[in-house]
Amino acid sequence: MSKITEKVATLAKPVVEEEGCTLWDVEYVREAGTWYLRVLVDKEGGLSIEDCERISRRLDPMLDEADPIPDSYVFEVGSAGAERELKRPGDFEQFMGSEVELRLYQPQNGSKSFVGTLKAYDDGDVTIETGGREMRFEKSKIALVRLHVSI
């Protein structure tokens, strides 16, 4: 995490937890020329727009006071989403046995994307079961792993 996202996470975590939610991630990204600060949260039983609103109203003045970002940005509080990215070891533990999509930087066996059941996580290396066989991918080759929702 960058210093900005670490500072924001430190500010946000107690507020998010007081509202009965869990802090999933903090993103500070540039999209179409605009900087966005996103606080992504989760809640047992589902997150409502009211949850996001309450957290946003509480965090906004705290961010203004702490001023972790000197430039202008758009502040958003939202759901981590059904197809959230798994980043930390705890994320992988929590969703072991779930269906995931794994994307690679370079094609392997003619594909850069694999969907399967998360079977193992070992120091960044990820094993999924797909098509009846297990496939292990090295951390350095993985671009992203996220939950996958089949329709």
- For residue 1, what pLDDT is reported? 47
Verify that 56 and 8 share a domain, yes or no: yes
- The helix (run of H) or strand (run of E) holding residue 20 is none
How many domains would you assign to the chain? 2
The sheet carrying 22-31 orders its strands as: 22-31, 34-42, 74-79
* CATH assignment of the domain containing 40: 3.30.300.70
Q: Label the pairing between strands 34-42 and 74-79.
A: parallel
- Write 25-32 long-range contacts (CB < 8 A, 24+): 25/80, 25/84, 25/85, 25/87, 26/1, 28/2, 28/4, 28/69, 28/73
- For residue 150, what pLDDT is reported? 85
In this prediction the pTM is: 0.81
- For residue 109, what pLDDT is reported? 86
Domain region containing 119: 89-147
- How far from chain centre, in Å, is Cα 76? 14
* Residue spans of the chain under pLDDT 70: 1-2
- For residue 145, what pLDDT is reported? 97
- Of 34, 60, 79, the domain-final residue: 79
Paired strand residues for 130: 133
Asked, for residue 84, whether it belongs to a domain, the answer is no
- For residue 124, what pLDDT is reported? 94
List, for residues 104-139, the tens digit of each pLDDT value.
Answer: 999 998 999 999 999 999 999 999 999 999 999 999
Residues with Cβ < 8 Å from 122, sequence gap 6 or more?
none
